[in-house]
Amino acid sequence: MTKLVINGGKRLQGEVKVNGAKNSALSIIVAAALATKGECILDNVPKSSDVGTICLILKSLGVEVWFDQNDKLHIVGASLKEYQAPYDLVRKMRASFYTAGLLLARLGKAEVPLPGGCAIGSRPVDFHIRGFTQMGADIVIEHGFMKAQCDELIGTNYYINRSSVGTTINLMLAASLAKGTTVLENCAKEPEIVDLAIFLNGMGANVRGAGTDIIRIKGVEQLHGIEYSIIPDRIEAGTFIFAAAITGGDVLIKDIVVEHIRSPLSKIEEAGVIVERGSTSIRITAPERLKAMDVETSPYPGFPTDLQQPLVAAMCVADGTSVVRENIFDRFRYVDELRRMGADIKVERETAIVRGVKQLTGAPVEVTDLRAGAALVIAGLAASGTTEIYGVDIIERGYASLETKLEQLGADIKRIGSQEEIDVFSSMKKPTRV
Ligand code: EPZ
């Protein structure tokens, strides 16, 4: 059983480089398989296990995928031939549902398992399915699969019921090769949507308006491969902000897009942290004790739901009471684990009331979901004594080398346990074409 063992109380100091964004890489890797000419070469791809999973899914569909010796990811979409995404891989990750948009656009046929619920609530895909239907796909839901087919996807006008990153992405993929123009309204405006649009346009697509409420996609005949670098991970950057803040640290967070974390930076300044903004970095200098503050999550550019859990962890030892309202998901299950470390948190439906305590105490805790894992690491960094965190594999879905980076910043943190997980990346070698 792999675990992270943290002896708390060490102040984080030094510099840390942020990886490429997981939530951009996942959609761009799928989008790369839309190309039927040449190959896509992606740089700054984070080697987290979710990225490994999406690569294995593409390989199972016939796409050639490999990392070269410079850690660049090569994707050759021309060989895509399977329209059935494998359940044993898809069930691991909701973003696998992006293959539905890819398969309908490329093959006119898709059989993709419906993503199940997860620790942050039920995660329906009804908006995705309604959009595909409006684009002319015949869809049957049976045995836990979405089975879709169409002679040709036709451009449509589609209003997405609420801001949804996944729906916006999936329909951008489908519309890129559709006949005619698709107008998506009430789109998500996250930076990862803009990153995908820039990538698609580089491949020869015609996507306008990404980053605003309305995205217009004019379908084209064919897409070609390009070289591209994934944007920095704003959620990893935010995770390091709260890790530095809770330890009274002084940390330079490098290779980021400062604009993408404007709301977390405003909130952490409210908590008493000094933030020095560079062009591609920020310096976080935290006080001995943070001040409590109120926050509510909302779609970009609001405070991101994925940083709600790291923020609550930091507020557990702040001076005063913080009120945190979660408007996107049902994601407070991890609070039970923080309480085992001495946190004083009351949850009422979508609101957590966090009364700051002087000190948390180390304890054995269990990770419930990816960002909850980040929150438990952050709490462990400041807790007195030893914290053992079980469920490391869940953290590694979205963070590559988190404990190594924290150790380099002075944390007393070790990963204990067998490395029985097969390193999926080493299995992805360049195919020898016969
Ligand atoms: C993406 O999830 C991210 N995942 C999430 O990050 C992030 O928290 C979320 O966007 C923020 O909105 C990836 O990019 C891989 P949504 P996604 O569609 O696309 C409801 C992480 O930790 N909804 O924007 O699944 C939905 O239930 C993860 O990196 C429907 O009702 O989220 C939610 O309440 C966690 N029907 C809201 O919309 C649908 O068909 C926003 O979800 C689709 C969504």
In 114-211, beta strands by DSSP E: 138-142, 145-149, 157-159, 181-185, 206-208
The stretches of 226-369 forming alpha helices (DSSP H) are 234-246, 262-270, 308-315, 335-339
Written as six digits, the tokens of 381 are: 């960094």
248 and 215 fall within a common domain: no
User: Closest ligand 1 atom to the C-alpha of 129?
Assistant: 40
- From CA 303, how far away is CA 179, in angstroms rounded? 37
Q: Give mean pLDDT, residues 22-30.
A: 98
Please choose from 23, 49, 125, 187 the residue to mutate so as to test ligand 1's pocket, defined by most ligand atoms within 8 A of CB. Answer: 23
User: Closest ligand 1 atom to the C-alpha of 192?
Assistant: 14
Q: For residue 426, is it within any domain?
A: no
Q: Is pLDDT at 429 greater than 80 in this prediction? A: no
Among all residues, which ones are annotated catalytic?
A: 118
Least confident stretch, 199-213, 302-316, 414-428? 414-428
Q: Is the CB of 415 under 6 A from ligand 1?
A: no
173 and 30 fall within a common domain: yes
Written as six digits, the tokens of 305 are: 């739901």
- From CA 251, how far away is CA 232, in angstroms rounded? 17
Given 229, 258, 288, the domain boundary residue is 229
Residue 227: Cβ within 10 Å count: 11
Q: For residue 50, is it within any domain?
A: yes
pLDDT in tens, 60-96: 999 999 999 999 999 999 999 999 999 999 988 999 9
Give pLDDT, residue 115: 86
Q: For residue 433, is it within any domain?
A: no
- Partners of residue 398 on adjacent β-strands: none
In the chain, the percentage of residues whose pLDDT exceeds 70 is 97
Q: For residue 129, is it within any domain?
A: yes
Q: Is the CB of 308 under 6 A from ligand 1?
A: no
Q: In what order do the strands lie in the sheet with 215-218?
A: 157-159, 181-185, 215-218, 206-208
- From CA 340, how far away is CA 390, in angstroms rounded? 14
Residues 6+ apart with CB under 8 A from 325: 295, 296, 297, 350, 351, 352
408 and 360 fall within a common domain: yes
Q: For residue 84, is it within any domain?
A: yes
pTM for the model: 0.97
Q: Give mean pLDDT, residues 346-360.
A: 98
255 and 351 fall within a common domain: yes
Given 229, 258, 292, the domain boundary residue is 229
322 and 219 fall within a common domain: no
Q: Give mean pLDDT, residues 352-380.
A: 97
Q: Is the CB of 128 under 6 A from ligand 1?
A: yes
- Say if strands 281-285 and 274-277 run parallel, antiparallel, or are unpaired: antiparallel
CATH number at residue 321: 3.65.10.10
125 and 167 fall within a common domain: yes
Q: Is pLDDT at 423 greater than 70 in this prediction? A: no
* Amino acid at residue number 434: V
**Of the candidates 31, 32, 67, 25, the residue with the CA atom closest to the CA atom of residue 48:** 25
108 and 135 fall within a common domain: yes
Q: Is the CB of 126 under 6 A from ligand 1?
A: yes
Mean pLDDT of the chain: 96
Q: Give mean pLDDT, residues 249-266.
A: 98
Q: For residue 60, is it within any domain?
A: yes
Q: For residue 430, is it within any domain?
A: no
Q: How many domains is the chain built from?
A: 2
210 and 319 fall within a common domain: no
161 and 257 fall within a common domain: no
Q: Is the peptide bond before 301 cis (omega within 30 degrees of 0)?
A: yes
pLDDT in tens, 194-239: 999 999 999 999 999 999 999 999 999 999 999 999 999 999 999 9
Q: Give mean pLDDT, residues 394-404.
A: 96
Three-state SS at 386 = strand
Give pLDDT, residue 288: 97
Written as six digits, the tokens of 142 are: 């049976």
The stretches of 108-159 forming alpha helices (DSSP H) are 126-134
Q: Give mean pLDDT, residues 294-312.
A: 98
* Amino acid at residue number 74: H
- From CA 413, how far away is CA 409, in angstroms rounded? 10
pLDDT in tens, 27-70: 999 999 999 999 999 999 999 999 999 999 999 999 999 999 99
128 and 224 fall within a common domain: yes
334 and 186 fall within a common domain: no
- Domain encompassing residue 53: 22-229
Q: In what order do the strands lie in the sheet with 364-366?
A: 364-366, 386-390, 3-7, 412-416
Q: For residue 429, is it within any domain?
A: no
pLDDT in tens, 129-143: 999 999 999 999 999
200 and 244 fall within a common domain: no
In the chain, the percentage of residues whose pLDDT exceeds 90 is 93
* Amino acid at residue number 95: A
CA distances from 312 to 242, 317, 332, 346 (A): 9, 9, 10, 12
- From CA 399, how far away is CA 62, in angstroms rounded? 27
Q: Is pLDDT at 422 greater than 60 in this prediction? A: no
Compute the distance from residue 261 Cα to the ligand 1 centre, in Å: 18
Given 182, 213, 229, the domain boundary residue is 229
Compute the distance from residue 136 Cα to the ligand 1 centre, in Å: 24
Give pLDDT, residue 45: 98
pLDDT in tens, 154-190: 999 999 999 999 999 999 999 999 999 999 999 999 9
User: Closest ligand 1 atom to the C-alpha of 371?
Assistant: 22
